[in-house]
Amino acid sequence: MAAKKITVVISQSQGKNPAMRQLEEELAARCLMEPGVDVSIVPNLYDMQADHTGLLFLRSVNGPLVVLGWLYPRGIRWILDRQGVKGREGVTLLVADDDDEEEEVAPEEHPDAVGAADVPPRNLYCIDLRVSKKADAFLEEIRRIAAENSQQTVDLMSWIGGNPEPAQLERYLSGGPAGESALPAIPINGNGNGNGAAPHETENGELPVIDEPVKRRWYPVIDYSRCTNCMECIDFCLFGVYGVDNVDRILVESQDNCKKGCPACSRVCPENAIIFPQHKSPAIAGADGEVAGLKIDLSKLFGGDGKTGIELAVAERDNELVNDGREAVGMAVGIPKRQSEKSDKPRDDLDDLLDGLDDLDG
Ligand code: SF4
Ligand code: SF4
């Protein structure tokens, strides 16, 4: 059986920083030479509207997919999820250039989270282009992922050709428990150029770029691996951004109603499930586990223990209300009781830590 291909998609930076463009193009050019890899360049993922050609293309890819962008992997994954580009979270082993320790950060458990819906049996790998300045580092990881998925295909075929137990076969046919499977990924169609809008080649005939223009956008992205569907965000936001889907699950419904630069609801979410991928603070932008070299328990950063998060959120929301010619509402609307009660607590060490992080951001 012929080896399946993986699709690599590079999401461009928002600006035209020459070093970033160079890395994007060098990596794409190197991928073009790789057997078993289809590569495309699309505009910044976060900025593409739902009907953008780049997203139509991404939705047409059925096989294993690697998406690289200038965003934290959580941001990439959940932007894609909102746009209907889904997959089981693929593990990447790429280590940042300046990370000498290579210390593993244990994934956080979120047992009450609603989880991603309708996840197909293929792997989706999300990689932050900021972790290295060298195309080689990304290429090496792409090769590893390609080999991993190619190997999985062979293993699955030999398993099917072998003698699976009835229970194993049933588990395979039913797709296994939601979000996981004891069985390997099944690359259905490794060539993503079959159904959707295929990227066209640039003037120099070398790089497959989808260059339909985009405008910068600003909206929240929900991480459903953390979200418990508590609805606190929909109560807090007074600008009609949130809604629910047909099974009453929270949804960022009217993305472009959100107020540019404002991250207020991310501070209110008790699960830290709301990401603003372009915010300057790593904790709001979707960093996981570590900020400025400090291991951080994100569950304590916003909306849980301190007054800082809630008070900031209320001030940010009031500011946007006044800018819209409306009345400020302060704590009177959409603040969960338990959080407003906690806001009366005195400052603690966490507040000092937050102040320190803000200074680092600045
Ligand atoms: S506040 Fe957070 S956990 Fe609650 S529904 Fe909104 S995103 Fe989900
Ligand atoms: S940042 Fe403000 S406007 Fe945007 S979704 Fe959150 S609360 Fe609503």
Q: Write out pLDDT tens, residues 69-99.
A: 999 999 999 999 999 999 999 999 887 776 6
Q: Whose CA is nearest to atom 8 of ligand 1?
A: 227
* 310 ligand 1 Cβ < 6 A: no
Ligand 2 centre distance from Cα of residue 82 (Å): 17
* 262 ligand 1 Cβ < 6 A: no
284 or 163, which is more confident? 284
Of the listed ligands, the closest to the CA of 274 is 1
Ligand 1 centre distance from Cα of residue 229 (Å): 5
* 222 ligand 2 Cβ < 6 A: no
pLDDT above 60 for 362: no
Atom of ligand 2 at shortest range from CA of 317: 2
For residues 168 and 107, is the Cβ–Cβ distance under 8 A? no
pLDDT of residue 116: 87
Name residues whose C-beta falls within 8 Å of residue 265's C-beta, 6 or more positions apart in sequence.
220, 233, 236, 237, 241, 274, 313
- Cα gap 76→68, rounded to integer Å: 8
> What are the beta bridge partners of residue 8?
39, 66
Of the listed ligands, the closest to the CA of 223 is 1
The C-alpha R_g of the chain, in whole angstroms, comes to: 22
* 220 ligand 2 Cβ < 6 A: yes
Ligand 1 centre distance from Cα of residue 344 (Å): 23
274 or 295, which is more confident? 274
pLDDT above 50 for 157: no
Indicate the top mutation candidate among 233, 254, 256, 262 to test ligand 2's pocket, ranked by most ligand atoms within 8 A of CB: 262
pLDDT above 90 for 240: yes
Where helices occur in 162-280 by DSSP H, the ranges are: 166-173, 232-236, 264-268
- pTM of the entire predicted model: 0.78
pLDDT tens, 91-146? 998 877 766 555 555 667 788 999 888 899 999 999 999 999 999 999 999 999 99
Atom of ligand 2 at shortest range from CA of 257: 3
Where helices occur in 107-174 by DSSP H, the ranges are: 135-161, 166-173
Contacts 24+ apart (CB under 8 A), 284-288: 285/71, 285/72, 285/75, 286/71, 286/72, 286/73, 286/74, 286/75, 286/78, 286/221, 286/223, 287/72, 287/74, 288/72, 288/73, 288/74, 288/105, 288/108
Of the listed ligands, the closest to the CA of 323 is 2
pLDDT above 50 for 173: no
DSSP 329: -
